[in-house]
Structure 1
């Protein structure tokens, strides 16, 4: 969503909540009816999964995934976001974690400035539901993956309950969320992007997804 390019308060509130694990867990339970323990476990697991990989983090937000990176490693990591506010926070977060080998890029997810097959791993944590066209975004993420490369991430989805769907609609009216589909829609979008070994697991209104090109 273009609103994220300029919506400083929205960006800061979101980033503060997700970056602080205890608050993130509480917010996940209260707002989305989800236990975000798996989300934080997945991030901590990056420590071993990114070794030797070319990684694209889109949309990187304030850099919540950085906590799963080693200070020194053999990976090449690019953090991409449309919002300059988020990118500045991500850069500050990288400095706090002592991470110096991260590239920061401001760009749209529907026009990634990379050639086909340039990355081994694409991460997309809680960004997909903010995009106006998530299907096109997933197609771009698939395009930049090498054959056998992996996409993994999380997204808010519809269909878990009236309260969660009402919150999604509210966020859409305020320009915070873009197009939000169901877990079934997400599965179809991943397949349409030409991805395989698709896995979509829903916990409350949060979907955990992974696939390979």
Structure 2
């Protein structure tokens, strides 16, 4: 995660690619063997969030998920470790008139919130950047209310030689940290205290959806 705290070039290249859908779709196909349209359609559904729903977006990056939010959206907290990403997210929110978004710099393994503060948590393209994704997921579960929903995706190992080679490259430069398999991701979610887990992958991108179990982690 320290790489993202200080790396300007990586952050800027990633943000430019992911926020320009044609480039993001090309990159997804070339690097990860995936059809990125699913990711963008997931983001497009965010505008249907119920009024008053409390949403945590972690890591928010440069505000990719803001693309379809309504200007009056309230209760939305966007968190990232990178000061540069947060500056880009702040500017993106300003351009879209999203004045109700709260932007915070913090570490996902120690979220600065009380238990059960959020109705929904979003985590897109972040888990593979964390040194300890299991702890990150446990923190996301902690700050969700019972039956609160987590939705996101992550890069995973084991989908093919080309994709695994790119993962090794990204780990070598410090952009990725702990990259698990789909089996690891399923286990991390369950051990964090999530149930009703739905998990599938397209190429090296795994999509997950789960609810915080009423009793929390075992």
Q: Does the alignment reach a TM-score above 0.5? A: yes
Unaligned runs of 5+ in 2: 213-218
- Aligned-pair CA distance for 1:50: 4.6
Q: Which residue of 1 aligns with 2:82?
A: 83
Matches within 5 A, 1:64-213: 64-73=64-73, 75-213=74-212
Mapped pair 1:55 → 2:55: yes
Q: Which residue of 2 aligns with 1:16?
A: 16
How many angstroms apart in 2 are the aligned matches of 1:199 and 1:26? 26
How many angstroms apart in 2 are the aligned matches of 1:21 and 1:192? 34
Cα deviation 1:87-111 (Å, max 9, x = unaligned): 0000011111111100010000000
Q: Secondary structure at the match of 1:45?
A: helix
- Aligned-pair CA distance for 1:52: 2.3
How many angstroms apart in 2 are the aligned matches of 1:202 and 1:68? 24
How many angstroms apart in 2 are the aligned matches of 1:28 and 1:34? 5
RMSD: 0.8
Q: Secondary structure at the match of 1:123?
A: strand
Tell me the TM-score normalized by structure 2.
0.96
How many angstroms apart in 2 are the aligned matches of 1:21 and 1:137? 28
Q: Secondary structure at the match of 1:122?
A: strand
Tell me the TM-score normalized by structure 1.
0.98
List structure 1 runs of 4+ shifted beyond 4 angstroms: none
Q: Secondary structure at the match of 1:115?
A: coil
